[in-house]
Amino acid sequence: MTTKAERTTAFIIKTVAPIFNKHGYVGTSMSDLTNATGLTKGAIYGNFENKESLALSAFQNHSNLLLDKIDEVLGVEEKALDKILSLFKFYKNYSLFTHPIGGCPVLNIGVDARHNNHQLSAAVSEIIKTIEGKIALVFENGVNQEEFKLPVTPLQFAKQLYTMIQGAVAMSTMTQDRKYLLNTLVYLEHLVKSELKK
């Protein structure tokens, strides 16, 4: 059973995470946080050491949501090809996942924190490596099961694939044009089905 303090902490994180994600670490003011939560500055900092630890907890909350979703998407009990196609399907509808949390946390926090917050920037790098590792494992299994023939190592290919997806997410976000993402995913589907499949 959770304590009142634990429930308050969870409420604060869930409430402020989309604000940090939309406005960034520097762009989020204390009044933004107090207005959203209905709590005083003292009540918020009674649960967190400082703004940096709150922002980090907020990002970790969104990271966990994203990783859980990717695990779910890649966890389909099918062949490696089906898992990768399931990942592409998720990213085709990525805005359905990101809209309620204020956008893509990897993109938003990654860009914002790069020159403003070393801890947050390191956390973003870590989630990128984790996602790449999950994708690489699927390709490695696919190679071992003779589903795929890759021109490079599974990890190198996963990094390139994720770079293309995340780059398309960035372009779609900046231009507000989903075609950047959709067209990239259509191309990647063709690549995987036509050129990598044994």
Say if 170 falls within a structural domain.
Answer: yes
Give dist(CA 171, CA 105) in Å, integer: 15
Say if 47 falls within a structural domain.
Answer: no
Tokens 């956008």 sit on residue: 103
Query: Contact at 8 Å (CB) between 114 and 197?
Result: no
pTM over 0.75: yes
Report the number of distinct structural domains present in the chain.
1
What percentage of the chain's residues is helix, strand, coil (to nearest 5)?
A: 80, 0, 20
Averaged pLDDT, 39-46: 90
Residue span of the structural domain in which 140 resides = 59-196
Query: Contact at 8 Å (CB) between 73 and 86?
Result: yes
Say if 74 falls within a structural domain.
Answer: yes
Say if 174 falls within a structural domain.
Answer: yes
How many CA atoms are closer than 13 Å to the CA of 83, on its beta-carbon side? 22
Quick one: pLDDT band at residue 77, thresholds 50, 70, 90? confident
What's the CA angle centered on 179, arms 178 and 184, to 5 degrees?
110
How far is residue 116 from each of residues 25, 31, 113, measured CA to CA in Å? 8, 20, 5
Averaged pLDDT, 46-62: 93
The two tokens of residue 166 are 């995340």
CATH number of the domain to which 157 belongs: 1.10.357.10
Helix or strand or coil: residue 193? helix
Say if 164 falls within a structural domain.
Answer: yes
Say if 145 falls within a structural domain.
Answer: yes
Say if 40 falls within a structural domain.
Answer: no
pLDDT at 45: 87
The two tokens of residue 21 are 């994600």
Say if 5 falls within a structural domain.
Answer: no
